[in-house]
Amino acid sequence: MLPAVLSGFAAALVASWLHRLERETAGWIIALLPAGLFLYFSGFIEIIAAGDTVAVSYAWVPTMGINLSFYADGLSLLFVLLISGIGTLVLIYSGGYLKGHPQLGRFYSFILIFMASMLGLVLADNAITLFVFWELTSLSSYLLIGFDHKREGARFAALQALLVTALGGLALLAGLLLLGQAGGSLELSVLLSRGELVRAHPLYTPILFLILAGAFTKSAQFPFHFWLPNAMEAPTPVSAYLHSATMVKAGVYLLARLHPILGGTDIWMYVVTGVGAATMLVGACLALRQTDLKRILAYSTVSALGILTLFLGLGTPAAIKAAVVFLLGHALYKGALFLVAGAVDHETGARDVDRLGGLRQAMPITAAAGGLAALSMAGLPPLFGFIGKEMLYEAAYGSLGAALPLTSAVVLASMIFVAVAGMTGFGPFTGKKTSTPKHPHEAVMSLWLGPMLLGLSGLLLGLLPASVGNSLLSPAIEAVSGQAGDLELTLWHGLNPTIALSAVTLAGGAGIYAGREALRRAASRLQMTSWWGPARWYSLLLDGLNVLARGQTRLLQSGYLRYYLLIIIATALGLAGPKLASLGGPPGLVSWQEVRFYEWSLAALILLAALVAIRSRSRLGAVAALGVVGYGVALVYVLFGAPDLAMTQFMVETLTVILFVLVFYHLPRFARLSSGLVRARDALVAVTAGALITTIILFSSNVQFHPKISGYFAEHSLPLAHGRNIVNVILVDFRGLDTLGEITVLAVAAVGVYALLKLRLREEKSK
Amino acid sequence: MTSLILSTTTRFLLPLLLMFSIFLLLRGHNEPGGGFVGGLLAAAAFALHAIAYSVGATRRLLIIDPRALIGAGLLIAVASGAAPLAAGLPFMTGQWWSPEVPALGKLQIGTPLLFDTGVYLVVLGVTLTIILSLAEE
């Protein structure tokens, strides 16, 4: 399974190159990969329908319970087939849609990276693996929304989507880690059987809210829904693939996946159902206000995601069945409608529903595909959307306690779905022919193949629902509900209340469709959401963050070395001083008689040199005096038996003097610029810093914190590390990783110094 | 500023200093020394050469750009740490060989020495990059 998951990343590496080689057919060739994956994973259907699961695991950081492990059950498989199946069609479609685009090769790479990440996400067993792929989908979505990176709108939307979903991703990571602690494992397959344990855990509420934050931001739930319509800046194949069929369903997937672990509590039901219902209604109402084909579809997608969340929140067997069936139906018709919208846009140059009409003669095949998808979205028999909608009604109707408000809300959303289906799947093709920027004619095959196949599969599944019911949907439902159940999908349910509701929905939807312009005018007069809506909060927060960042940068990053030193020393004093003071005065010194005369003279020499360095009126003199201080300190090391340290100190002092001398050449003449007050302040800081270090040394020489450490090194240096020089053995062996980090920092610093010097040189030259 | 005394002395001092720096590197595991101080000493030797002659002359003498030494050093250090991975051991596990070499006796060669060589090269490269760039201005 691992090669199948990772194949997309490998293909992304060669996609750009393949596109350069085969401009015309690259899309078809690359589509072979997801098609192959679709076939490969189709082979799992039988195994999983029989009640088995497929799992692989590779150790990653086994000591921390992190594994690269994958696990396919009914739920994963449903998503995997959607991802690879729709991925195939979208790749073919992209080849036609972005034909001649200079960056088409890059586009293929991004789409493949996304597909592989999405596969990894829905197949992941380990929570950390899931998180990594989760973030990869956010990243690839960022690249794809901002694909047309020269437009500011695209960049803004890409960043917005990334910030919202990545923020949720961080919450998700925290939630998953806590979940791992509460459940005692990071493997989801293990956690699935420990739901009781997790739900009774004192951390259950924070875990739930953190994970919901991740799921809700990803799946554009209210109040985070605003990024999804803006993401329509992406090329249409991306909107169809990421922002309706797959990625935005990742949050829904997570809810479904964790339902057996976290679900079933009151708090789960109220929060998830409430947020889902709000999203469903907000999305549906906002959809009516739009005239842009893609934005209408985007808001209706928000609404559909709300429906899925709502029903997963309810958590009754009927609700879960309905959610899973609706999920499949929605992916098929919404993907198709997006692709149809893209084809219309591609052929006519217009996306405004008011300016489109009568295209059925010019684009008969696209019109047929759009019609099929619209019928499914409107929930008309014999399409698959009808079955999904009927099941939603049944579940809402049968929910205890809140049947009436819930059913009416779902019916209202479905009515708007009927109107949206009319606006996007029928409107552009029927009625009077309008004039469009481009002369319309039928799209090329790559553009109609995808929507046509999706539309036809909606019809086929509607006619033969049992074909997927038992083999694919039933195992998925079992995975979500955590218990075996039977699923009987039939087109005809008999004369029951849901049929009556369907009729009401159609009539109401037709009414909304007829009065859509009046509704839109009324809605646009209520322009309230623009100033108190969540999108406004997003921009306020972002601006606030920028102001904060700029302010603290101005405060801390003065650009003057002296202020940096001042801040560092003052911070060290502020942090360590009070602690030292609380310990009482420094411990008594060793007896003065033990200090030898040459140690006295060395100390005197160091002090004298320091005074000379301060008082000197020549730079060279000051640096030479500083060098004397350094050599004096090195001599102290020699006297007290630290030859390694002394040698290094000698070398560092020598090179420092050389560096200073080289720098002096560029400095202006020495002058005293600071006032007496400033010098007094600096003197105070310097003296207190010296006093602090002295006190720390006095304390530390008296306190033996861990006597074992040096003993351990002395004992094991030779037998374990084959070295007698403990200092060196620590540097290159016991603490080698630290040294590796240090030399990396050194290298980075050198690159920085080099860049600064060379850039200045070049500037001077250009002047 | 060229001084005949300094340039003549440097001609003899440079090879001596460089040999001493390698001596420090090699003995470091058992006696005072090591890659860090060895690299600093080598850098000081080349800095002396640059002062006695010119930066251009030092660059010609070096042949390799000091920046390349940084990269090479880092690569060697990482490779010495990664070597034990091939044997299925954790990153940076010390690996030792004790070959019998005629005239030198039994030697102790291990990945930590290789790692120290990487440190030596990084320190030499970093110091020289900074000193030579500053001196060139």
Please report the pLDDT score of residue A603 as a whole number.
93
Which range is least confidently modeled, A662-671, B12-21, B26-35? A662-671
Q: Where do we find the tokens 């209340």?
A: A497
Nearest to A754 among B37, B44, B129 (CB): B129
Question: Among A415, A389, A370, A376, which Cα is nearest to A516's?
Answer: A415
A211 within 8 A of A174, measured Cβ to Cβ? no
Which range is least confidently modeled, A189-198, A337-346, A468-477, A567-576? A468-477
On the 0-12 / 13-18 / 19+ scale of CB atoms within 10 A, B5 is: exposed
Amino acid at site A587 = P
In tens, the pLDDT along A722-750 reads 788 888 888 888 888 999 999 999 999 99
Please report the pLDDT score of residue A704 as a whole number.
63
Tell which wins on pLDDT, A236 or A535. Answer: A236
Tell which wins on pLDDT, A762 or A225. Answer: A225
C-alpha pair distances (Å), A530 with each of A276, A287, A489, A524? 22, 15, 43, 11
Q: ipTM of the predicted structure?
A: 0.91
Q: Which residues of chain B neighbour A737 with C-beta distances below 8 Å?
A: 81, 91-92
Nearest to B126 among A724, A728, A750 (CB): A750
A178 within 8 A of A213, measured Cβ to Cβ? no
| Two structure tokens written together for A626 | 């500083």
CA within 13 Å, CB half, A85:
19
pLDDT over 70 percentage in chain B: 99
CB atoms within 10 A of CB A158: 24
Q: Do A722 and B74 touch (CB under 8 A)?
A: no
What is the DSSP secondary structure assignment for residue A126, as one 8-state letter?
B
In tens, the pLDDT along B55-100 reads 999 999 999 999 999 999 999 999 998 888 887 787 888 888 777 7
In tens, the pLDDT along A350-376 reads 888 888 888 888 888 999 999 999 999
Query: What torsion, rounded to 10 degrees, do the Cα atoms A351, A356, A362, A363 define?
Result: 50
Quote the minimal CA–CA distance from B102 to chain A in Å: 21
Interface check A558 vs B, CB under 8 A: no
Task: Judge whether residue A544 has pLDDT over 60.
Answer: yes
On the 0-12 / 13-18 / 19+ scale of CB atoms within 10 A, A99 is: middle
End-to-end CA separation in angstroms for chain B: 16
Q: How far is CA A378 from the centre of its chain?
A: 33
DSSP one-letter string for chain B: ---HHHHHHHHHHHHHHHHHHHHHHHHTTTSS--HHHHHHHHHHHHHHHHHHS-HHHHHHHH-S-HHHHHHHHHHHHHHHHHHHHHTTPPTT---EE--EETTTEE--EEHHHHHHHHHHHHHHHHHHHHHHHHHH-
Question: Which helix (H) or strand (E) covers residue A661, if one does?
Answer: helix A643-664
Which range is least confidently modeled, A203-212, A511-520, A740-749, B119-128? A511-520
On the 0-12 / 13-18 / 19+ scale of CB atoms within 10 A, A599 is: middle
In tens, the pLDDT along B73-84 reads 999 999 998 888
User: Does residue A71 sit in helix, strand or coil?
Assistant: strand
Please report the pLDDT score of residue A35 as a whole number.
94
The answer for residues whose C-beta is within 8 angstroms of residue A710's C-beta and 6 or more apart is none
pLDDT over 90 percentage in chain A: 42
A58-79 residues labelled b (16+ CB within 10 A) or e (exposed)? eeeeeeebbbbbbbbbbbbbbb
Q: Where do we find the tokens 């003549």?
A: B8
Interface check B131 vs A, CB under 8 A: yes
DSSP one-letter string for A572-635: HHHHHHHHHHHT-SPPPPPPGGGS-HHHHHHHHHHHHHHHHHHH-SSHHHHHHHHHHHHHHHHH
Interface check A755 vs B, CB under 8 A: no
Please report the pLDDT score of residue A238 as a whole number.
92
Please report the pLDDT score of residue A147 as a whole number.
92
Q: Is the dihedral of CA B33, B35, B37, B41 positive or negative?
A: positive
Task: Judge whether residue A493 has pLDDT over 80.
Answer: no
Name the pLDDT band for A526 (thresholds 50, 70, 90). Answer: low
What is the DSSP secondary structure assignment for residue A124, as one 8-state letter?
B
The full 3-state SS of A142-184, as one line of letters, equals HHHHCCCCCCHHHHHHHHHHHHHHHHHHHHHHHHHHHHHHHHC
Task: Judge whether residue A531 has pLDDT over 70.
Answer: no
Interaxial angle between packed helices A384-398 and A497-514, expressed in degrees from 0 to 180 and rounded to the nearest 10: 110
Please report the pLDDT score of residue A705 as a whole number.
63
**What is the rounded CA–CA span in Å between residue A635 and residue A508?**
93
Q: Do B134 and A723 touch (CB under 8 A)?
A: no
C-alpha pair distances (Å), A191 with each of A2, A70, A197, A269? 22, 14, 9, 20
A458 within 8 A of A385, measured Cβ to Cβ? yes
Amino acid at site A446 = S
Q: Do B118 and A743 touch (CB under 8 A)?
A: yes
Q: Which residues of chain B neighbour A720 with C-beta distances below 8 Å?
A: 94
Testing the interface with A: which of B55, B67, B137 to mutate, by most A Cβ within 10 A?
B137
Backbone angles phi, psi at B100, to 5 degrees: -95, 115
Question: Among B72, B53, B69, which Cα is nearest to B124's?
Answer: B69
A486-490, long-range: CB < 8 A, 24+ apart: A487/A321, A489/A325, A489/A387, A489/A465, A490/A387, A490/A465, A490/A466
Task: Judge whether residue B137 has pLDDT over 70.
Answer: no
Interface check B31 vs A, CB under 8 A: yes
**What is the rounded CA–CA span in Å between residue A184 and residue A568?**
42
A606 within 8 A of A649, measured Cβ to Cβ? no
In tens, the pLDDT along A157-188 reads 999 999 999 999 999 999 999 999 999 899 99
Question: Which helix (H) or strand (E) covers residue A68, if one does?
Answer: strand A66-72
Counting runs of H as helices and runs of E as strands, what totals does chain A give? 34, 2
Q: Where do we find the tokens 């306690």?
A: A401
Task: Judge whether residue A528 has pLDDT over 60.
Answer: no
- Which chain B residue lies closest to A762 (C-alpha atoms)? B137
Q: Where do we find the tokens 């591609």?
A: A346
> Between residues 77 and 106 of chain B, which touch chain A (CB distance below 8 Å)?
77-78, 81, 91-92, 94, 96
B119 within 8 A of A742, measured Cβ to Cβ? no
**What is the rounded CA–CA span in Å between residue A323 and residue B17?**
77
In tens, the pLDDT along A395-412 reads 888 877 778 888 899 999
The predicted model gives A77-97 an average pLDDT of: 93
Amino acid at site A631 = Y
Quote the minimal CA–CA distance from B29 to chain A in Å: 5
Please report the pLDDT score of residue A356 as a whole number.
85
Please report the pLDDT score of residue A58 as a whole number.
87
A619 within 8 A of A664, measured Cβ to Cβ? yes
**What is the rounded CA–CA span in Å between residue A634 and residue A641?**
11
pLDDT over 70 percentage in chain A: 96
CB atoms within 10 A of CB A25: 14
Amino acid at site A539 = S
C-alpha pair distances (Å), A80 with each of A39, A42, A118? 11, 9, 8
In tens, the pLDDT along A256-311 reads 999 999 988 999 999 999 999 999 998 998 888 888 889 999 999 999 999 999 99
**What is the rounded CA–CA span in Å between residue A677 and residue A664?**
26
Please report the pLDDT score of residue A434 as a whole number.
79
Nearest to B134 among A654, A662, A724 (CB): A662
* pLDDT averaged over every residue in chain B: 89
Please report the pLDDT score of residue A587 as a whole number.
66
Task: Judge whether residue A651 has pLDDT over 80.
Answer: yes
Q: Where do we find the tokens 């009416």?
A: A408
Question: Among A723, A656, A718, A720, which Cα is nearest to B33's?
Answer: A723
**What is the rounded CA–CA span in Å between residue A316 and residue A339?**
34
Tell whether omega for the bond before A440 is within 30 degrees of 0, i.e. cis. no
Q: Do A655 and B43 touch (CB under 8 A)?
A: yes
The predicted model gives A333-350 an average pLDDT of: 90
C-alpha pair distances (Å), A532 with each of A153, A203, A283, A694? 21, 33, 16, 58
Which range is least confidently modeled, A96-110, A524-538, A656-670? A524-538
The residue extents of the domains of chain B are: 4-136
The predicted model gives A223-232 an average pLDDT of: 89
| Two structure tokens written together for A231 | 């993401």
Task: Judge whether residue A543 has pLDDT over 60.
Answer: yes
Amino acid at site A202 = P
Paired with A134 in beta bridges are: none
Please report the pLDDT score of residue A698 as a whole number.
80
Please report the pLDDT score of residue A418 as a whole number.
92
* pLDDT averaged over every residue in chain A: 88
The answer for residues whose C-beta is within 8 angstroms of residue B36's C-beta and 6 or more apart is A648, A731, B119, B120, B123
Tell which wins on pLDDT, A220 or A494. Answer: A220
A627 within 8 A of A612, measured Cβ to Cβ? no
Interface check B38 vs A, CB under 8 A: no
| Two structure tokens written together for B109 | 């060669």
